[in-house]
């Protein structure tokens, strides 16, 4: 990640990760871990719920865009399930560092378009990963 960041021509105000931040057994998902090196706000946006412990689940948000429910573990908010559009699965937002959960959710909504329930940066990273994975498979054959 750090080597890739060095290649950027501009310095981003925010880093969005396809993964988790505080919503992690050690409160140290990729978004949190990277924030200590990047010294910028970071958020994790996951497509799949990451169960921190066996007893913790989340409550589905209402079926409307912008609905959200907190993911609470032992009285502490670890993240949020956020429905970006009506009739789609929620995404799971957790902060890395230097940003509030409310701000992270607002940004996730602003970064989401009509094409997908996943915010654009996360979707593009996911697509590029699939392309690279397929290219690597083809090279190995």
Query: pLDDT band at residue 1, thresholds of 50, 70 and 90?
Result: confident
Q: Give the pLDDT confidence of 27-81 residue by residue, as tens digits.
A: 899 999 999 999 999 999 999 998 888 777 899 999 999 999 999 998 999 999 9
Q: Where are the alpha helices (DSSP H) in 71-119?
A: 101-110
Q: Which pLDDT score is estimated for 47?
A: 93
Q: Which pLDDT score is estimated for 115?
A: 86
User: Which DSSP category does 104 fall into?
Assistant: H
Q: Give the pLDDT confidence of 4-27 residue by residue, as tens digits.
A: 899 999 999 999 999 999 999 888
Q: Which pLDDT score is estimated for 122?
A: 84
Q: Which CATH number fits domain 2-140: 3.10.310.30, 2.40.30.10, 3.30.2170.10, 3.30.70.20?
A: 3.30.2170.10
User: How large is the average pLDDT for residues 115-126?
Assistant: 89
Query: pLDDT band at residue 140, thresholds of 50, 70 and 90?
Result: confident
The residues with which 48 forms a beta bridge, in sequence order, are none
């Amino acid at each position: 990640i750090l080597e890739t960041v060095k290649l950027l021509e501009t310095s981003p105000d925010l880093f969005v990760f396809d993964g988790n931040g505080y919503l992690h057994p050690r409160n140290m998902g990729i978004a949190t871990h990277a924030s200590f090196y990047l010294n910028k706000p970071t958020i994790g946006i996951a497509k799949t719920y990451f169960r921190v412990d066996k007893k913790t689940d989340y409550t589905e948000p209402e079926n409307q865009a912008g609905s959200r429910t907190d993911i609470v573990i032992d009285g502490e908010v670890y993240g949020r399930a956020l429905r970006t559009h009506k009739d789609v699965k929620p995404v799971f937002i957790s902060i890395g560092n230097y940003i509030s959960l409310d701000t992270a959710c607002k940004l996730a909504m602003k970064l989401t378009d009509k094409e997908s329930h996943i915010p654009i940066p996360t979707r593009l990273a996911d697509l590029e990963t699939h392309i690279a994975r397929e290219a690597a498979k083809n090279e190995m054959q």
